[in-house]
Amino acid sequence: MSDDELDGLFSLSYNIGSTLFKNRTIPYLVKLYNGTGTIEDVLNHMYGDQDSRPNLVKGIAKRRQYEKDLFAKGYNQRINKNKNKPRYSVYQ
């Protein structure tokens, strides 16, 4: 994993909690890196239980988008260096 990928995931884990991160996001990360999942699956599962609270939505939405962008940026850069793997255009 690249530094940007790790930074995005560490931020998400810190903000939503390790248990939720382990149960919600890790299974899709494993599939992605085993070649059976997609980056879209991972990005769709990068959220916390409190993300829809009306008084927190704007700030949390910005934070989640930053975490997703950072992860996707690092993933895309790493994939583009290795031409043997498929190229994904999400968040380029």
pLDDT, one tens digit per residue, over 12-68 is 999 889 999 999 999 999 999 998 999 999 999 998 887 777 676 778 888 889 999
pTM attached to this predicted model: 0.78
CB 1 within 8 A of CB 26: no
For residues 92 and 11, which has the higher predicted lDDT (pLDDT)?
Answer: 11
In angstroms, the Cα distances linking 90 to 43, 50, 54, 75 are: 10, 25, 28, 10
Residue 83 banded pLDDT, cuts 50, 70, 90: low
Structure token pair of residue 29: 């990360």
